[in-house]
Amino acid sequence: MYNPDTKRYDNMIYNRCGNSGLKLPAVSLGLWHNFGDTGNYENMVQMCQTAFDNGITHFDLANNYGPAPGSAEINFGKIIKENFSAYRDELIISTKAGYDMWPGPYGNWGSRKYLISSLDQSLQRMRLDYVDIFYHHRMDPETPLEETMGALSQIVHSGKALYVGLSNYDGPTLEKATKILDELKVPFIINQNRYSIFDRTIEKNGLKQKAKELKKGIICFSPLAQGMLTDRYLEGIPEDSRIRTDGRFLKESTVDENISRVRALNEIAKGRGQTLAEMALAWVLKDDYVTSVLVGASRPAQILDNIKAIENTTFTEDELRQIDSI
């Protein structure tokens, strides 16, 4: 029987998500990697327990997380049933739909048919009655935005999600979607986008500033650039690294191209008394634009290391200039 740490809320920072009533932990756990069929189930359990024991209440999934697609939700549903059923009301569980999930014309993008069907499947896989946040996972260039937002409205009003979010949107489309969702009285509170020292896309496409203006939260994935912004590759590529075991998202050539930048950033982190990973996470959290960072992990110790980032999220102007120049 799992008994969570009674002091689990003592040290985590919780940030309000836009102007909503919901607060998220500054560090959230993403189940994009290491929770599919290729992962070790007992290790998954230990990671979730370690996260919750240290105040991480938010667990983020998507319909296609795996491999195979859907397997992360299945494994997480088992973890909840066996460990967290008594603590469901302390958890924020999110999932998404928008990428290719099943064959045929109705298993992808942003139609009402796809989004509602996908969430029904996700709830079944996770053995849940509702999720706390349901996201549309990416912009759909063909489906009318009114239809996609209308599906999110139906989902909330049916009780299958408490809040909705948008993922991988840009600033102009976010603004249009917000207007529609406001008219439909849908509690749209958060944007999920890639953001790191190496990837400043949300600064360039208007999403970061527009979310601030519209009083919406931002949660960032890949803040460690798929592990490049850690000490993992400073001395070469380990045989047990993600590149060797799952080369879908980070390539050896990408590490080789960026290793000099990674080492230079590591020197700045040392000067701050942080690991490179801690500094990279702190950099994302350095201002009040970002509500939470999503971290992935392959073992519990990595989660504990990442949480340390919240101890120092203040940067000098000189440090920020150095990081930008690198």
Axis-axis angle for helices 276-284, 300-307 (nearest 10): 60
**pLDDT computed for residue 289 by the predictor:** 97
Amino acid in position 181 = L
**pLDDT computed for residue 237 by the predictor:** 58
Query: Cβ distance 129 to 146 under 8 Å?
Result: no
Three-class DSSP category at 29: strand
Query: Cβ distance 208 to 170 under 8 Å?
Result: no
**pLDDT computed for residue 179 by the predictor:** 98
Three-class DSSP category at 142: coil
**pLDDT computed for residue 70 by the predictor:** 98
Positive or negative: CA dihedral 153, 155, 22, 223: negative
Tell me the CB-side half-sphere exposure of residue 68, using CA atoms within 13 A. 3
Q: How far is CA 168 from CA 93, 102, 104, 237, 297, in A?
A: 19, 21, 23, 30, 22
**pLDDT computed for residue 162 by the predictor:** 98
- Tokens 């990081």: give the residue: 323
- What is the secondary structure of 252-264 as a DSSP string? HHHHHHHHHHHHH
Mean pLDDT by groups of 10 residues along the chain of 326 residues: 96 97 98 95 98 98 97 98 98 98 97 98 98 98 98 98 98 98 98 98 98 98 92 68 54 68 95 97 97 96 97 97 96
Which residues, in sequence order, are bridge partners of residue 72?
Answer: none
> In this structure, what token pair is assigned to residue 239?
């045989």
**pLDDT computed for residue 246 by the predictor:** 53
Question: What is the spatial distance between Cα 15 and Cα 18, in angstroms, rounded to a whole number?
Answer: 9
Query: Taking the CB of residue 155, how many other CB atoms lie within 10 A of it?
Result: 23
Burial class (CB in 10 A: 0-12, 13-18, 19+), 162: middle
**pLDDT computed for residue 255 by the predictor:** 63
pTM of the entire structure? 0.94
Best CA proximity match to 283, nearest among 233, 326, 237, 234: 326
**pLDDT computed for residue 260 by the predictor:** 85
